[in-house]
Amino acid sequence: MEKTTISSRELAELLSGGIQNLLLHKDEVNDLNVFPIPDGDTGSNMLMTIQGGENIRPYENEGIGDYARRTADSMLFSARGNSGVILSQIADGIAEGLEGVECASVEDTARAFKCGVAHAYSAVAEPVEGTILTVVREAAEYAASLKCADIREYLDAFIVQARESLRHTPELLDVLKKSGVVDSGGAGLIYIIEGALSVLKGETIEGTGDFTGHMAPAAPGATLNFDLFDEDSELVYGYCTELLLRLQRKKTDIDNFDLPAFREFLQSIGDSVVCLKTGSVVKLHVHTKEPYRVLQYGQQFGEYLTVKIENMSLQHNNLPADSRLAHPEEHKQFAIVAVASGEGIKENFREMGTDRIVQGGQTMNPSADDFIDAFRRVNADTIFVLPNNSNVILAAQQAAKLYDMADVRVIPTHSIGDGYAVLSMLDLDSGNADEIEQDMIRSMEGVVTGSVTRCIRDTEMDGFHLREGQYLGIVGKDIVSADNDRRDTACMLTARMDFTDHQICILIRGKDSTEEEAEEIASMLRKEHRDCEIYVLNGGQEIYSYYIILE
């Protein structure tokens, strides 16, 4: 029987099928890592991004366009990693293409994917072919060209071309060819579409999967000790109130909705306010002793999709002293938000002027929502963001676009070394955001960052016959040393780094390195580079045994 349209309820089922199939193949996608180092997080990032839309269920008689918009809005906030951000932008474009549609025909679906492709390409400053962008574009173009009448035929054609495009990605991107892999983001997209098509055909997706191991850590409220707020306790900190409000046409003019007035009301009854609008969904956050007033006020304009109200006095008493933050910091003109992991690195960043640390980095990419929470907490007119990882920049940029309560500027720091350089030269005294931003960008010029980490698979790359478990020395995107001994790898790495015109070398040791070994390396560097100041820091970072930064 021909399947000519898809309803919102069916789209929800297709989304669940895509999520389950990606979960089953997540590790395969993660393993399609270009570099043989602990990184493979593409599958995990795409999974956590698309899971952001999983709990958005269609209303009775809701059109597919409205439902697609709600799921896409949720994915924009949950997006993490470059692959996750691009996936969320595909969903955002699909929602735009389905605007006003009740049930989607093949023609509607083809138009929606065309919009999805356009959004994905626009999300990247310099689109690179041979990636998920190529796969989704070529698949959408081919499927649309066939003028199918059946949705299943359209998705079948989409997958056929997507697989062909994926097979050719190494021909378009030399780094994939050298590594002997195809693009991981494209592979993840195919698994999602395959899962959706299986549901549409009535097929069973093998395995049930375990989602719990791949979700973000549970919120503090999940393990609260209720005895910390008893019959005689006083409500000191109020309630952390987080809501998603779906604006309703019968209650308000959605296009001309007065967001500043809503934000002003929230500020009148509490603090730590976030009030953002994407499409017809408003994301709210406020600390208040009267959450019922938020619910009453918001219901004038729509209905709530999610409601979370937590007693902050209970949260405050349950958290370690250094984790407590019931209210945002005092308002300031400028603030710095930086991504980092490792207690030593985080402490150094704070001492150098960072106002808020977002936990993350390699294998732990923060979501757009993680950044938005940090922006809210620093409470500044202008916020400078240091992602410090190439795979985090897009999520930071997406968060900056979603957050309208401050001037957020993402500084393209691709490494911890870039972040250190920016902070070491930090000067906010001019009071001019444009000048400060340009100074930050200039401070990264000439910075070289090397790192030592473990090889996770046997492969050949950059002229090295690499074996699993070996230590690798990396500068930028190039492997320059490899050895079974960690210290020797670090020494060979430094021998291949150009110290010319650099006055400072920072050696940051990780969790698996010893103080004695780090000092031996530093001593060797002091002998070989007498004009360079050598500093040793205990970063405490995972994954990387050493960072070596030349400024």
Q: Give yes or no for a contact between 337 and 375, defined as CB atoms under 8 angstroms apart.
A: yes
Q: Give yes or no for a contact between 509 and 546, defined as CB atoms under 8 angstroms apart.
A: yes
Can you give the pLDDT at residue 40?
Answer: 60
Residue type, 306: T
Smallest Cα–Cα separation from 493: which of 483, 508, 484, 503? 483
3-state SS of 341-377 is CCHHHHHHHHHCCCCEEEECECCECCEHHHHHHHHHH
Can you give the pLDDT at residue 324?
Answer: 41
The pLDDT averaged over each successive group of 10 residues in the chain (551 residues) is 92 94 92 75 92 86 94 92 94 96 97 97 91 97 95 96 95 86 94 95 65 34 57 78 90 92 91 79 86 94 88 57 50 95 94 94 88 91 96 95 93 96 94 96 95 89 88 92 95 94 95 95 94 94 95 92
What angle (nearest 5°) sits at the alpha carbon of residue 59, between those of residues 301 and 87? 90
Can you give the pLDDT at residue 321?
Answer: 40
Q: Which residues pair with 380 in a beta bridge?
A: 332
Cβ-Cβ contacts under 8 Å for 253 (sequence gap 6 or more): none
Q: Return the biggest CA–CA distance within the chain.
A: 79
Can you give the pLDDT at residue 325?
Answer: 42
CB atoms within 10 A of CB 223: 8
Measured CA to CA, the distance from residue 419 to residue 340 in angstroms comes to 9
Residue 427 class from Cβ within 10 Å (0-12 exposed, 13-18 middle, 19+ buried)? exposed
Q: Give yes or no for a contact between 375 and 406, defined as CB atoms under 8 angstroms apart.
A: yes
Q: What is the DSSP string of 127-161?
A: --SSSHHHHHHHHHHHHHHTT-SSHHHHHHHHHHH
Cβ-Cβ contacts under 8 Å for 222 (sequence gap 6 or more): none
Can you give the pLDDT at residue 329?
Answer: 67
pTM across the whole model: 0.81
Q: What SS3 class is residue 117? A: helix
